[in-house]
């Protein structure tokens, strides 16, 4: 007789924030991530960014805050963000530190991207202006302290949209960098030290396919194992 799968972290919902220009109808793109969590018994919501991610970062974050954090005080969350969605998960985690158990960001431009400087035809959009390295929104997020056991940034050295690729790193968080093993020695020698918690894993993926990479899926599974084990203690 089949047994019922229960949520291993009681009252915990997983919210996946999609990237810029991804409409809600394309949420199936994130099905590999959804499967990781539903397979463990979690309720999962895939949420598109307000105005396809083109509104200001402040306005989008406020809208997402009102949309996601509507449950009771006992409700807890695991936030997953891709690209700009990762900027918002970091923001929301700082607003609700007691409710957000963990954050997993994929290829999120935490330090902005140089592509935001391409010219007026792009920078007229508020969200793009906010993605400049020295924007007020990103600067405010960078000045905060982050826990490497709670905040996880997963990114690739071959990111074609986050330029430079290490702009996805978060000081104090656990940074997991996808690169061919032949590059690991070089990355170590040049002193990739934005965070003391840096892990190099073997593989190749660009900005869009990074959410499908098995190395990152394994990392999330291991982290969930640890999180669930700790939760049973309390």
* Each residue's pLDDT tens digit, 6-30: 556 778 999 999 988 788 888 999 9
Closest CA to 147 of 102, 91, 193, 200: 102
Cis peptide preceding 34, ω within 30 of 0: no
Percentage of residues of the chain with pLDDT beyond 70: 86
CATH no. for residue 63? Answer: 3.40.50.1820
pLDDT at 67 over 70: yes
Average pLDDT in the 120-133 region? 69
Residue among 174, 167, 173, 170 nearest 207 (CA):
167
The answer to whether position 42 is within a domain reads yes
Q: Is residue 7 part of a domain?
A: no
Residue 234 in any domain: the answer is no
d(CA 60, CA 16): 15
Domain range spanning residue 189?
A: 12-228
Q: How far apart are CA 3 and CA 186, in angstroms?
A: 49
The reply to whether 3 falls in a domain is no
What does the pLDDT read at residue 121?
54
Would you say the pTM of this structure is higher than 0.75?
Answer: yes
Does residue 4 fall inside a structural domain?
Answer: no
Q: What's the number of CA atoms in the CB half-sphere (13 Å) around residue 229?
A: 6
For 184-194, write each residue's pLDDT tens digit.
988 876 656 55
Whether 201 is in a domain gets the answer yes
DSSP state letter for 9 = S
3-state SS assignment for residue 156? strand
User: How many domains is the chain partitioned into structurally?
Assistant: 1
User: Strands, E, within 109-217: which ranges?
Assistant: 151-156, 174-178, 198-201
In a domain, 5, yes or no: no
Instruction: Convert the pLDDT of each residue in 163-187 to its tens digit.
Output: 999 999 998 899 999 999 999 988 8
In a domain, 98, yes or no: yes
Burial of residue 92 (number of CB atoms within 10 Å: 0-12, 13-18, 19+):
buried
């Amino acid at each position: 007789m089949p047994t019922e799968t229960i949520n291993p972290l009681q009252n915990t919902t997983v919210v996946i924030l999609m990237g810029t220009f991804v409409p809600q109808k394309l949420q199936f793109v994130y099905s590999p991530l959804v499967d990781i969590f539903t397979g463990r018994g979690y309720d999962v919501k895939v949420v598109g960014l307000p105005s396809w991610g083109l509104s200001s970062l402040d306005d989008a974050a406020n809208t997402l805050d009102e949309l996601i954090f509507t449950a009771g005080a006992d409700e807890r969350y695991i936030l997953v963000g891709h690209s700009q969605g990762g900027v918002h998960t970091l923001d929301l985690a700082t607003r609700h530190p007691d409710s957000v158990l963990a954050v997993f960001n994929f290829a999120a431009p935490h330090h902005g991207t140089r592509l935001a400087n391409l010219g007026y035809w792009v920078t007229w959009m508020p969200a793009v202006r906010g993605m400049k390295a020295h924007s007020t929104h990103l600067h405010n997020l960078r000045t905060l302290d982050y826990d490497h056991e709670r905040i996880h940034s997963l990114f690739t050295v071959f990111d074609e949209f986050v330029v430079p690729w290490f702009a996805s790193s978060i000081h104090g968080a656990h940074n997991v960098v996808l690169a061919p093993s032949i590059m690991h020695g070089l990355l170590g020698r040049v002193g990739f030290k934005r965070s003391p918690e840096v892990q190099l894993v073997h593989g190749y993926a660009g900005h869009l396919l990074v959410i499908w990479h098995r190395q990152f899926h394994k990392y999330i599974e291991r982290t969930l194992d640890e999180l669930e084990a700790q939760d049973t203690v309390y």
